[in-house]
Chain A
Amino acid sequence: MFRNVLMWLLQRITAVLLVVFLGIHIWTTNFATNWATLLRAGVDLSLLVLALFHGLNGVRAVVLDFGIGHAARRVLSTSLVMIGFITFLFAIYGLWPLLFP
C-alpha cells in the first residue's frame, strides 16, 4: 500500500518537473542560443529519466485500473522496470555523441 502511495506522489512530482523541463527542452532544441546549449545535456538527461518513469508508471496506473490480480501485477511491474532500464541504457548509449560532442 505504501508503495502505491509513493508511486502516486512520485507521479505528481515528475509531472510538475516534466512540464518545466519540457519547456526548456523545446526551447533549447528549436531556438537555442549559445548559453542555452550549455543547459542541454543536463536537461535532456533529466528529461529522459523523468519521462521514462512518468510514462511507464502511467502505463502501470492505466493497467491497474482495469483491475488485474496480484500475480499479473507483479509481472507487469517487473516488465515495466525492465523496459525502462533497457530503454535508459540504450538512450544513454545512443544520445552520448549528441549530448557530449
Chain B
Amino acid sequence: MARTARKWFDKSSDVNPRNMRLGMFAWLIQRISGLYLVIFLMTHIGAIAQASLGITKGLGAQAFDAFRNPFYAGGPTAPILDLILLGIVAFHGLNGIRIVLLDLGFGIRKHKLWFWVSMVIAIAASAYVIFLGLPLMGSG
C-alpha cells in the first residue's frame, strides 16, 4: 500500500499532480465524477422506488432513508445537492462526448480547446436548466 502510494506520487509518476496536464486532469475528474454518478444512480433508484411504492413507515422506510440520505438530505441542502449533481452530470456528459469524438479521431490536435468548449457548453446547459427549473429543485 505504502509502496503503491510512493510509486504514484514519485517525481516521475504520471499521476503526480505536478506532472499532470490538462488531458490527465480531465481523465481523472471523469473517473471520479463517474464513480460519484454510479453511487448517485443507485440512491436515485432507491429513492424513486421508495416514493413509488409508498414506503413511509417502519424498518423498511428507515433502511431506505439511511441509503438515500447522503444525496437526498431533505431541507435547505436538497437544492444545492441537486445543482451540484446537475453540474457533475453536465461535466461528465460533455467531456464524455469529447472523449468519443477523440476516439473517433476528430480534433485530437485541439483536444485542449475542445475541453474548454465542452466546459462552456456544460456551464451554459446547467445555467439554462437552473433558469427553467430552480423553483422545482429539491422535489426529488
Contact = CB atoms under 8 A, between A and B. Distances in A.
Interface of A: 12, 15-16, 18-19, 22, 26, 30-31, 48, 51-52, 55-56, 58-59, 62, 87, 90-91, 93-98
Interface residues of B, number: 26
B133 A30 contact: yes
Contacts of A15: 93, 96-97, 99-100
A96 B133 CA distance: 26
B48 A26 contact: no
B78 interface: no
A100 to B, nearest CB: 11
A91 to B, nearest CB: 5
Given A19-B96, A58-B35, A94-B48, 16 more contacts: A19-B93, A19-B97, A22-B89, A26-B129, A30-B132, A31-B132, A58-B38, A59-B38, A62-B31, A90-B49, A94-B52, A95-B48, A96-B52, A97-B53, A98-B48, A98-B51
Nearest to B49: A94
B89 A31 contact: no
Nearest to A97: B52
Interface in B35-57: 35, 37-38, 41-42, 45-46, 48-53
A93 to B, nearest CB: 8
